[in-house]
Amino acid sequence: MLVVRAIKADDLDALYYMATQVGSGMTTLKPDMKMMGDRVAIAVASFAETIPPEKRDYMFVMEDTATGRIAGVCAIKGAVGLTEPFYNYRIGTLVHSSRELDVFTRMETLYLSNDLTGSTELCSLFLHPDYRSGNNGKLLSKSRFLFIAQFPHLFTEKLIAEMRGYQEEGGRSPFYEGLGRHFFKMDFDSVDDLTAVGKKSFIAELMPRQPLYVAYLPQDAQDVIGKVHNSTAPARRLLEQEGMYFEGYVDIFDAGPVLQARVSELRAMRESGLAQIGPTTDWDAACAPEAGSEPVLVSNTVIKDFRMILSQAVPVDGAINLPEAEQKALHCHTGDSVRTLSLNVRKNPNV
């Protein structure tokens, strides 16, 4: 069984091993033992609630309970941009118009902004290739929404996720080549590395301060603004199902989209609910729609030892009949509360 759970200090080695298997473009998970050790320490303190909410970085690992192997990782940062500036480009519009000439030109512009400062960020999603099947990706990505729904008071109103931007087969980023390179004079990979070691704001300081007219960029750079890396397209769809959307902010280096949402508007906030572990009556079960056909995310409600699984059990009228093995995986017992959320968006939420 796969369990998504709060990271522990002794997961560090397994995490490091996995990071060595991520290609370039994923800025938040670099195989650097020192950085990673620091990050895990912060994550452990976050779940233990010994540091203030805005400094927290909740890291989750997906563990294969059969082998004890770590299959994936994901994280939620309490707030971005509070210790060093957090930069994005905002896509804006400038209209240049002359009545005299009857010319009306609508120009797209890129404004360097810190608008997303203080937002909660979903980040560092990585699923080992061996586990990229079935509902595993969804379980890992969506686990974070269930966590937020369980502990909404820990997060700011705005939630964001930076998506990896478009790159060609060979790893070339047309947007970077069309813009950033002229200001940094270094390769995309080098910039990427610097970003990973926390020097993104240094680099951003080299970016032009004034708004840029998109029309001046080479066509291939213009074309990829707000476009995700091919391998990231499924991840983007998952987030969009949960209520996140692209609102015109992109990464300053690769122009990957930033997805945003208000925490209060997430599907998990509306549709997840608490249920008590215990038997459901036959009568209740009879009323449940298509019992057993829809997988459900189920988590415990303990921040220190947050655990989540995917179950076929159906929550009915405030109760859920979880099998023994699943209760064990959640470190729960009969009578405990769990939070549940259907894995997939219901076709008709009123059913």
Q: Is 229 a known active-site residue?
A: yes
Q: How far is the CB of 171 from other proteins (least distance, A)?
A: 22
Using CA of residue 309, residue 315, residue 320, residue 324, what is the dihedral sign?
Answer: negative
Q: Among the candidate windows 66-74, 175-183, 250-258, 283-291, which touches other proteins by CB under 8 A? A: 175-183
Give the contact letters, 135-174, x = binds to other proteins (CB under 8 A), - = no.
----------------------------------------
184 binds other proteins (CB under 8 A): yes
Residue 11 or residue 251: which is nearer to other proteins going by CB?
251
Residues 9, 49: Cα–Cα separation, whole Å? 15
Residue 104 φ then ψ, to 5°? -135, 110
Residue 71 or residue 110: which is nearer to other proteins going by CB?
110
Task: Of 229, 224, 261, 231, give the one whose Cα is nearest residue 246.
Answer: 261
Residue 207 or residue 238: which is nearer to other proteins going by CB?
207
185 binds other proteins (CB under 8 A): yes
Size of the site for other proteins (CB under 8 A): 32
256 binds other proteins (CB under 8 A): no
237 binds other proteins (CB under 8 A): no
208 binds other proteins (CB under 8 A): yes
Q: How far is the CB of 252 from other proteins (least distance, A)?
A: 14
Residues 70, 20: Cα–Cα separation, whole Å? 13
Between the alpha carbon of residue 28 and those of residues 168, 219, 240, the distances in Å are 21, 29, 21
109 binds other proteins (CB under 8 A): yes
Residues 225, 220: Cα–Cα separation, whole Å? 9
Please pick, from the candidates 13, 38, 52, 199, the single residue that binds other proteins as defined by CB under 8 A. Answer: 199
Task: Of 231, 16, 230, 25, give the one whose Cα is nearest residue 132.
Answer: 231
Other residues' Cβ atoms within 10 Å of the Cβ of residue 53: 15
197 binds other proteins (CB under 8 A): no
Please pick, from the candidates 50, 67, 98, 293, the single residue that binds other proteins as defined by CB under 8 A. Answer: 98
Please pick, from the candidates 21, 105, 230, 312, the single residue that binds other proteins as defined by CB under 8 A. Answer: 105
Amino acid, single-letter form, for residue 63: E
Please pick, from the candidates 107, 238, 285, 303, the single residue that binds other proteins as defined by CB under 8 A. Answer: 107
106 binds other proteins (CB under 8 A): no
Q: How far is the CB of 180 from other proteins (least distance, A)?
A: 11
Which residue in 128, 229, 331, 333 is the catalytic one? Answer: 229
Which positions are annotated as active-site residues?
A: 229
Give me the residues that bind other proteins (CB under 8 A), please.
94, 96-98, 100-101, 103, 105, 107, 109, 178-179, 182-186, 194, 199, 202-203, 205-206, 208, 210-213, 215-218
